[in-house]
Amino acid sequence: MKNILILGADGYLGWPTSMYLSNKNYNVVATDNFYKKKIIKKLKINSLFKTPSLEKKCKIWKLKTKKKIIFENIDLCDFKKFNLFFKKIQKKLGKINTVIHFAEQPSAPYSMISPYTSNDTIYNNLIGTNNLINTIRELSPETHIVKLGTMGEYGTPNIVIEEGWLKIIHKGRSDKFLFPRQASSIYHTSKIMDTDLLWFACRNWKIKVTDLMQGPVYGISTKESQIDKNLTIDFFYDEIFGTVINRFVTQAAIGHPLTIYGKGGQTRGYIHIKDTLKCIEKAIENPPTRGHMNIYNQISETFSINEIAKKIKLAASNLSLNVKVKNIKNPRNEKEKHFYSPVYSKLKKLGFESTKLSPEILTEMIKKVLINKNKIIKKNILRNISW
């Protein structure tokens, strides 16, 4: 069995990834310091589903599946403690084949609330990534780092977005560089910086990295999360941690207008949570050689905000819900009309088959929200964060 260390295993993606890989017979070590839970408590945000602690979920998983997920409460930003933990776990299990790095502050709006939340985001994301790099460099240079990046690093350039790299011909000479980045928030800028840190480490210390440039994720459950109600994944519907499709589905279920920022022409690449798990598995199975960095654009299809709202309005009508759409002043400094054409073919070449955003998927999501609608705190949907 290959040993997989998952950092940030308590999150929207971290826990389903832990279950998915355990179910695939990987030996999974799940770590978290519950940094995001502290933010959620401070901001009085709630997940649609109440879930047990990560430690308890690991115990329930073992009880239900007879498969073990090892839990450790570890702060990646504490280099000494993380380094000692990594030594201990490798001594216990043997070589850690892959580290999956989810341990970052994942919200653009949170990063833009104040200078304090900006600093918090930069510190957590960059110090954590740098500590991981230096631990791998020192203790296990053959270990493959799979880091969750974001398509938001690219921004919305007026050219086709290549998969991570761009070949430049300038004054008769050519070279390959990271595709130019132009983020629209402190969070996305921190992700650019950790991509740069990882690429530096590849060039200088010959570690091996896969950076998954993922679009906004949607979805409310996975195959594994349905084994037991206590294995349910966190689902956020608020402006800070809720991605747009999840937010709109929630708004549709409770009769809240779908709130479109500005004119709604903003176009992005989206991916179902089940596809995220498949892509991570493909990344694990196809590591680069030492000193190299794979970059994949991890999306399934692209939509404008207006197109998403139209799809959700249609799905809601199947449940006799009359959903209204409301354009509000855009709180973000972003282009509302722009060219957007990302390449996303590398994962497909590795065998990834994507899930399309269908009326059936959206209808099923709305049904699950409706069952739990009494738990929704309406004032959390819009927090009036602007930049």
Tens digit of each residue's pLDDT (9 = 90 or more) over 95-130:
999 999 999 999 999 999 999 999 999 999 999 999
Distances from the Cα of 117 to the Cα of 162, 186, 202, 386, angstroms:
31, 9, 30, 13
Average confidence (pLDDT) over 174-182? 97
Q: Spot the catalytic one: 147, 191, 274, 313.
A: 191
Confirm whether 206 is a catalytic residue. Answer: no
Confirm whether 150 is a catalytic residue. Answer: yes
Average confidence (pLDDT) over 338-345? 98
Nearest-angstrom CA–CA distance, 17 and 22: 8
DSSP H or E stretch at residue 138: helix 128-139
Residue pointed to by tokens 């290959």: 2
Task: State the chain's mean pLDDT as an integer.
Answer: 97
Residue 64 tokens read as 């239900």
Task: Read off the pLDDT of residues 193-252 as tens digits, 9 standing for 90 and up.
Answer: 999 999 999 999 999 999 999 999 999 999 999 999 999 999 999 999 999 999 999 999
Amino acid at 284: I
**Confidence (pLDDT) at 54:** 98
Task: Read off the pLDDT of residues 79-88 as tens digits, 9 standing for 90 and up.
Answer: 999 999 999 9
DSSP code of 180? P
Q: Spot the catalytic one: 20, 26, 154, 187.
A: 187
- pLDDT at position 21 over 90: yes
- The band of 45, judged by pLDDT with boundaries at 50, 70 and 90, is very high
Residue 327 tokens read as 């354009």
Residue 20 tokens read as 């998915």
Q: What percent of the chain has pLDDT over 90?
A: 99
**Confidence (pLDDT) at 94:** 97
DSSP H or E stretch at residue 276: helix 273-285
**Confidence (pLDDT) at 1:** 81
Confirm whether 67 is a catalytic residue. Answer: no
Would you put residue 131 in left (φ > 0), alpha (ψ -120 to 50) or beta?
Answer: alpha
- Residue 321 dihedral angles phi and psi, to the nearest 5°: -100, 125
Average confidence (pLDDT) over 21-38? 98
Q: Spot the catalytic one: 150, 232, 259, 267.
A: 150
**CA count, 13 A, side-chain hemisphere, 150:** 27
DSSP H or E stretch at residue 31: strand 27-32
**Confidence (pLDDT) at 39:** 97
Query: In the chain, what are the domains?
Result: 3-226+272-299+339-354 (3.40.50.720)
**Confidence (pLDDT) at 80:** 98
Task: Read off the pLDDT of residues 131-143 as tens digits, 9 standing for 90 and up.
Answer: 999 999 999 999 9
Average confidence (pLDDT) over 268-275? 98
> Where are the alpha helices (H) located in 142-272, listed in sequence order?
186-205, 244-254
Would you put residue 29 in left (φ > 0), alpha (ψ -120 to 50) or beta?
Answer: beta
Nearest-angstrom CA–CA distance, 346 and 362: 27
DSSP H or E stretch at residue 15: helix 14-23
